[in-house]
Structure 1
Amino acid sequence: MSRYLKNRNVAVIGGGIAGLTVAIALAHRGAKVTVQERAPQLTEAGAGLQISPNAGRVLEALGLGAALDQVSARSAGVLLHDHHGKQVAALALAARRPGAAFRMVHRARLIEVLERGAREAGVLIELGKEVGEVLPDAPLVIGADGLHSIIRRKLNGVEHPFFTGQTAWRALIQDGSEDACARVFMGPRKHLVTYRLGGGLRNIVAVQERPDWAAEGWSHQDDPANLRRAFAGFGGPLPGWLAQVDTCGVWGLFRHQVAQRWHDDRLAILGDAAHPTLPFMAQGAVMAIEDAWTMAECLDRIDDQSAALARYQALRRPRVEKIVAAANGNARNYHLSGPARVIAHAGLRSLSRLAPNRLMGRFDWIYDYDPLAEAVS
């Protein structure tokens, strides 16, 4: 498999999903990879995420499919509800593509799978390693260091994201049910997404438009009573689920631009460092996993490192820009009110009943994409 990456020294800054995935992909191609993570251990704050088939193909190609199946739950698709709990539309995404896995997993469990995979591939993981302005002395330094990336700043200078006017809560509750769908409850100026994870847990992300705001990041704790108060008018199973919340995080949602420069001759970025996104397409982690495979393939198949990184950016940027734009659009669509909401929900109900494949076909470009089939050279 290895061509030009064999024995190349690579430093990866950040031991999250993006960093560990790219480290594994590079190591499988013969690179000598060191991951530097500032935290004293590889843990992941936050809660759940969805891994759709486009990213699942990468993880399976890296030999992690079976391990991921052990810690995740399979999703059959998405159910859209109004805020009273009445179903608006059903997207049977898994049935549309038999054999393709839609997985729902706790972030911490995915990090554990990736850490084992990285160590087994020979990746050196250095914990408690704070990287400042002085970068590792390696021929290639990859920034997988998230929203406040040092490497992005070196490539693009200081940038200023803006607050969207939306604040999100994230929580976990116990759930031993066999509910196999992600569910979206849509109300005026707010919505809630929930799905079951492996290990008897349910993930809840609730978003509300409000004039005040919280800072970015998931470590800001809030009183669960504030979450319950914000969604007190929602029906269906939500009151019962929200009653179980005993701790929750809150953060403000900010819009970031896709980075203009993803690389120079020695530095490169991927994942949130390159293209942070709002969470309304469940593709943030997925895009990072796609990035990792494409970056490794380009570096392995194109001799000149700068040309390889340019090819990586050329392949990835149009796709991630489209996904980020789709997430921005959902931020509006989920929060409709008044006549616009009535019309939109009626249209979704009609499509779901009369032309379900047409409705689901809107997402084929996301889920049917195969990073492994991309012609990188």
Structure 2
Amino acid sequence: MKQLHALVIGAGIGGTAAAIALRRAGLDVSLFEQTVAQREVGAGIQISPNASRLLGRYGLDEAMAQAAVRPSAVVFRRWQDGHVLGREELGDAIENRYGTPYYHFHRADLISLLADAFGRNEIELGGRLVDIEQDESGVTARFEDGTSARGDLLIGADGIHSQVRERLFGVEKPRFSGQIAYRGLAPSERVAHLGLPLEVTNWVGPGGHFVHYFVSSGRFLNFVAVSEEATWTREQWSDRGSIDDAAKQYQGWHPQLATILGAVDETFKWALFDRNPLPEWTKGRVALLGDACHPMLPYMAQGAAQAIEDGAALAACLKHSDFDIPSAFRAYVALRKPRATEVQERSRANATSFHLPDGPEQLDRDRLFATRGVRGSSEAMNKLYGYDAEVVAPTLEEKR
């Protein structure tokens, strides 16, 4: 059987992880990135066991342990006085439970180790997609510089503003959530006097929430400060932000938040977008993954993890179907769409829950944090973190 050639558009976390998974499954893979240099300003990212177990199989256990922080717990605190609303152990507890660690990364560190695993020099930079053509024998990607590439299948991993998705299904703007996030990094020595443990801490309050955790082997404290904004009129979905503006959003909150913001040199202001679930993820020889087909709000810390799952599942479906592309794509969508849609919906629900004003609903939420757990029931956590995308894929009864 001829080795299939896959074109992967987008060398972010999801695209590069998918390229590695497809290569492991036996495909020849070409990976394209529209920027001329890989760089990330998004700062921190959480990689839960459902993703770290896959990256470990890709040979990245040692690299992850060196680059990341292994948090001890996730803690939710009340906005004004810091009262602990709920706490769940991570660290050894979650690794023993699911067989693989929970990590905090700087996005640039994670992309760097993925690029090294695929082969940094093999990533084709500056490949800005302008068109896709497909026929019975293959698919062609055409790029802005006049070059093109031909493959047997094409994977669109090019984010929420996906050009691949647009070429397949037309223009459709993502939905502005009404929330914006200030993101940034504080050198750890500037906040050392706070004595912060290696935890992910979520401060929840009226109209906003504030998250912080260490990244880059503990060298930086990453923060994400989310507040509500009625409109977003700028074309770009991220801007350089003002630390003073961020601090104003949290006046009256616990003084620790002002201390963290005061330790930051710069911040970026991001509009938070998502989409309603797309009716289709594939067309012919082209499939979407990650934010290209299921962008989600960051309130379950699952955006990157679900994209990594997508790539692993797609590779497993191709291998299990003896590399029959239509059959593999049907199985991929049947397997991944319900799970990704559920995570999207839960993330959107948390956008409301985390921002409740003080009152009866807030008190009910806090009681759930204390009794059920801050990330849902044990059954919900097992369903999320115990999932193995490579193992589940071959068991799926294909939709024919």
TM-score (norm 2): 0.86
Alignment of 1:316-335 (within 5 A): 316-335=336-355
Give CA deviations for 1:89-127 in whole Å, capped at 9, x if unaligned.
10114425514301000000001100010018xx83111
Give CA deviations for 1:300-345 in whole Å, capped at 9, x if unaligned.
1213211101101110000000100110011010011131354235
Give the 3-state SS of the residue equivalent to 1:132 in structure 2: strand
How far, CA to CA, are the matches of 2:375 and 2:125 in structure 1?
A: 47
How far, CA to CA, are the matches of 2:376 and 2:352 in structure 1?
A: 21
How far, CA to CA, are the matches of 2:101 and 2:277 in structure 1?
A: 28
Please list every run of at least 4 consecutive aligned residues from structure 1 whose deviation after the TM superposition is greater than 6 angstroms. Answer: 355-358
Give the 3-state SS of the residue equivalent to 2:283 in structure 1: coil
Contact 2:48–2:305 (8 Å) recurs in 1: yes
Match of 2:135 in 1: none
Match of 2:382 in 1: 364
Q: CA deviation at 1:359?
A: 4.6
Correspondence 1:37 to 2:56: no
Match of 1:50 in 2: 46
Q: Which moves more between the two structures, 219-228 or 246-255?
A: 246-255
Alignment of 1:1-377 (within 5 A): 7-84=3-80, 85-94=82-91, 95-98=93-96, 99-119=99-119, 124-134=122-132, 135=141, 136-176=149-189, 179-199=197-217, 200-213=219-232, 215=234, 219-235=238-254, 237-303=256-322, 304-348=324-368, 350-351=370-371, 359-376=377-394
- Structure 1 pair 324/346, CA: closer, same or farther in 2 (3 Å)? closer
Contact 2:75–2:199 (8 Å) recurs in 1: yes
TM-score (norm 1): 0.92
Contact 1:214–1:251 (8 Å) recurs in 2: no
Residue-pair matches, total: 369
Percent of aligned pairs sharing the same letter? 35
Contact 1:74–1:180 (8 Å) recurs in 2: yes
How far, CA to CA, are the matches of 1:315 and 1:362 in structure 2?
A: 18
Contact 2:368–2:374 (8 Å) recurs in 1: no
Contact 2:67–2:216 (8 Å) recurs in 1: yes
Give the 3-state SS of the residue equivalent to 1:154 in structure 2: helix
Q: CA deviation at 1:264?
A: 2.1
Q: CA deviation at 1:370?
A: 1.6
Q: CA deviation at 1:32?
A: 1.3
Contact 1:75–1:103 (8 Å) recurs in 2: yes
Q: CA deviation at 1:348?
A: 3.6
* Structure 1 portions without partners, runs of 5+: none
* Structure 2 portions without partners, runs of 5+: 133-140, 142-148
Q: CA deviation at 1:299?
A: 1.0
